[in-house]
Amino acid sequence: MKQPLAQDQLVLAALFATSGTLHFLKPRHFESIVPRQLPARRALVYASGVAELACAAGLLLPATRRAAGLSSAALLVAVFPANVQMAVDSWRRRQLLLICVALLRLPLQLPMIRVAWRAGRT
């Protein structure tokens, strides 16, 4: 029997839905944090936006929650380098507020990965 959606899983789905939507509304922001070594940054932004929207939808549906949970955990690991790039760029520009946000965001990836992984195991 499928478990009901936990509150933290609902929050994760909402975060993915919001972020995925922003990938299409503000792609330049996301392009700026794609590590410089990667090609086709705009395409990667759109692809990760689609992935985030798919994970959000999948987490909400009991029939797809397992696959979406595991996919969400993998996606969070895959985008971690962009979060590191954001922290590095903020540091270089001496943007104190962005430095704080970026540095706080890095350790938050771990509980988000744990929530996603747990959703994939239910």
pLDDT in tens, 44-87: 999 999 999 999 999 999 999 999 999 999 999 999 988 888 88
Q: What value, to the nearest 5°, has the Cα angle with vertex 21 and ends 79 and 77?
A: 15
Q: What is the pLDDT of residue 20?
A: 97
Burial (CB < 10 A; 0-12, 13-18, 19+), residue 57, is middle
Q: Residues 121, 67: contact at Cβ < 8 Å?
A: no
Q: Residues 56, 14: contact at Cβ < 8 Å?
A: yes
Q: How many residues does the chain have?
A: 122
Res 1 pLDDT > 60? no
* Domain regions of the chain by residue span: 7-121
Model confidence pLDDT, tens digit, residues 98-119: 888 888 888 999 999 999 999 8
Q: Residues 105, 59: contact at Cβ < 8 Å?
A: no
Q: Residues 53, 20: contact at Cβ < 8 Å?
A: yes
